[in-house]
Amino acid sequence: MPLPIGYMYQEKALGAGTVGTVQHYNIEHVPAGTDVNYGVAIKIQDEAGVVADKAPIFGITTKRGYAMGDDYSAIKDDHWYKGEDMGVLTEGAISVPITADVNRLDLAAINADGTFKPAGAGDTAVGHFLTAGDKDSTAIVYVNLTSVNTTATATPDVSGAGK
């Protein structure tokens, strides 16, 4: 039985995968290629979303408004299950799990498990943090990933001559 969550059962910091501002944001929907946690970076592989291990990324998974389970202990470990149609934020601000202390306006990079950290030497930034956060908690990151870091392999025929 699904359990409604909303903002009721969160700590003071927004839970991973929660949209972080009321400003414009864009959410795409893709099937989960594996089980995927909320608030992690994903890439597209075999037409499904899987955890990204490096940039570029497709987007960041949102959380759903309910948990799959029979009691409230299910909320803590809930995630997107393989095959589910999951929400993926491609533009806007979202709360993400962080593995190091971050400061407001630090550039954001991803770890091999799709979680976030401040960008360091050699890291490709995917966005920037809007809030500060302590290691092993959450912070709000802003991304605008629409066609970012993509390379076309061929020029599309838009003239109509190929028809």
Residue 107 β-bridge partners:
128
Helix locations, 10-161, DSSP H: none
SS3 breakdown of the chain: % helix, strand, coil, rounded to 5? 0, 35, 60
User: Average pLDDT of the chain?
Assistant: 83
Please state the pTM of the whole predicted model. 0.81
Helix (H) or strand (E) holding 117: strand 116-118
Q: What percent of the chain has pLDDT over 70?
A: 77
Predicted local distance difference test score (pLDDT) of residue 72 = 67
Is residue 10 situated within a structural domain?
Answer: yes
Task: Determine the structural domain holding residue 89 and report its residue range.
Answer: 2-144
Is residue 7 situated within a structural domain?
Answer: yes
Predicted local distance difference test score (pLDDT) of residue 55 = 93
Is residue 158 situated within a structural domain?
Answer: no
Total number of domains constituting the chain: 1
CA 47 – CA 32 distance, rounded (Å): 9
Most confident listed range (18-22, 127-131, 155-159): 127-131
CA 16 – CA 5 distance, rounded (Å): 13
CA-based nearest residue to 42, from 16, 18, 23, 62: 62
Tens digits of residue pLDDT in 1-42: 344 444 444 444 567 888 877 788 899 999 999 999 999 999
Is residue 154 situated within a structural domain?
Answer: no
Measured in degrees and rounded to the nearest 5, phi and psi for residue 141 equal -115, 145
Predicted local distance difference test score (pLDDT) of residue 10 = 47
Is residue 73 situated within a structural domain?
Answer: yes
Is residue 90 situated within a structural domain?
Answer: yes
Is residue 30 situated within a structural domain?
Answer: yes
| Average confidence (pLDDT) over 55-78 | 81
Tens digits of residue pLDDT in 79-115: 999 999 999 999 999 999 999 999 999 999 999 999 9
CATH number at residue 127: 2.40.300.10
Looking at the chain, the number of H-run helices and the number of E-run strands are 0, 11
Predicted local distance difference test score (pLDDT) of residue 101 = 97
pLDDT exceeds 80 at position 66: no
Is residue 157 situated within a structural domain?
Answer: no
